[in-house]
Structure 1
Amino acid sequence: MRKVIVFGIGIMLLWSCNNSTEKSTKHQGTESQTEHHHDESSEAIELNNGEKWLVNEEMNPIVLKGEELVNTYIKAGKTDYKTLSEQIKDQNSKLIKSCTMDGISHDELHKWLHTHLEIVKALGNETDATKANEIVLQLQHSYQNYHKYFN
């Protein structure tokens, strides 16, 4: 069942992004428009000429909410990592649905998101609490990476 859900999220991600050209977009900075593609072979996120990429204002609060959920979970010493996984999946679904980005910034965000989704999937599939705690820390690090590359 979880594989079906993860697959469904992946399909939503691709569908949402492929339809992003139908939505109004904000073009930030000097970013040139490029053909939409998902290059999974190049996973290293790059900065925009040394600067962070701009993320549309609808998406950023959703990422921040997911980060808040993880940080609260850690600070409160919670142990129900399955619930945390479901909450983060919910935020990721909202993030994917709100995607109106295109171009290079969009491609770079997908590099982060692809890895992030894999971490959330691993958390949801984990059965060992000690390993789950390690994965939660990976999630926290994922959000830190987001802030390193995106505004």
Structure 2
Amino acid sequence: MKKVLVLAISSFVLWSCNNPSEKAKSNQETKQEEHQHDETSEAIELNSGKKWIVNDEMKPFVAKGEGLVTTYLQSSQTNYNKLAQKLKDQNNQLIKSCTMKGKSHDELHKWLHPHLELVEALEKSANENEAKGIVLKLQKSNEVYHQYFE
């Protein structure tokens, strides 16, 4: 089930980020790229020692998601299902706003896919303790984002 969900999210992300000329590529290439995302997370690389530039349209959704996690932790909230839904909404907007191309786009996806999986895991958490651990991982994910992107 998790693999199906990750595959569906990957398909949506890849589809929403492609321009019309890229849509003409064969399904074989798309399936191969999706398969690569499903395996282990690849290490994110810097851009010749510098952070990658994220397009301005995407930044507010990353910032809002980060703010939701920070507020949740600082105010000792416990409604992790509500947090998961809000994070999913921000991630959907982030994906819809994607216009990035090339290597920066590929590197962002190396961060985004594990991040999406954490949000999905949060939504499926069985209890507050499990959810708290996942929220801390989301906080770390946001720190990783800032290490590689601006």
CA contact (8 A) 2:6 2:117 kept: no
CA contact (8 A) 1:59 1:95 kept: yes
In the alignment, the residues of structure 1 paired with residue 132 and residue 17 of structure 2 have an alpha-carbon distance, to the nearest angstrom, of 32
In the alignment, the residues of structure 1 paired with residue 56 and residue 2 of structure 2 have an alpha-carbon distance, to the nearest angstrom, of 30
Task: State the Cα distance separating 1:128 from its structure 2 match.
Answer: 1.8
- Structure 1 residues 6, 87: closer, same or farther in 2, change over 3 A? farther
In the alignment, the residues of structure 1 paired with residue 21 and residue 59 of structure 2 have an alpha-carbon distance, to the nearest angstrom, of 19
Aligned: 1:19 with 2:22: no
What is the one-letter code of the residue matched to 1:43? Answer: E
In the alignment, the residues of structure 2 paired with residue 104 and residue 14 of structure 1 have an alpha-carbon distance, to the nearest angstrom, of 14
Equivalent in the alignment of 1:125? 124
**Structure 2: stretches of 5+ with no match in the other structure:** 23-29
Equivalent in the alignment of 1:49? 48
In the alignment, the residues of structure 2 paired with residue 94 and residue 75 of structure 1 have an alpha-carbon distance, to the nearest angstrom, of 25
- Structure 1 residues 69, 56: closer, same or farther in 2, change over 3 A? same
CA contact (8 A) 2:10 2:113 kept: no
Question: Cα RMSD (Å) of the superposition?
Answer: 2.6
Equivalent in the alignment of 2:146? 147
**Structure 1: stretches of 5+ with no match in the other structure:** 23-35
In the alignment, the residues of structure 1 paired with residue 21 and residue 53 of structure 2 have an alpha-carbon distance, to the nearest angstrom, of 17
Equivalent in the alignment of 1:111? 110
What is the one-letter code of the residue matched to 2:66? Answer: E
In the alignment, the residues of structure 2 paired with residue 105 and residue 6 of structure 1 have an alpha-carbon distance, to the nearest angstrom, of 21
What is the one-letter code of the residue matched to 1:53? Answer: W
Q: Deviations over 1:12-51 (max 9, x none)?
A: 21210123778xxxxxxxxxxxxx9564366100000110
Matched pairs, number: 139
In the alignment, the residues of structure 2 paired with residue 53 and residue 94 of structure 1 have an alpha-carbon distance, to the nearest angstrom, of 20
- Structure 1 residues 21, 148: closer, same or farther in 2, change over 3 A? farther
Greater RCO, CA 8 A, separation 6+:
1
* Length-normalised TM-score, structure 1: 0.82
* Length-normalised TM-score, structure 2: 0.82
- Structure 1 residues 136, 63: closer, same or farther in 2, change over 3 A? same
Equivalent in the alignment of 1:90? 89
The sequence identity of aligned pairs, in percent, is: 56
Task: Determine helix, strand or coil for the equivalent of 1:101.
Answer: coil
* Larger helix share, 1 or 2: 2
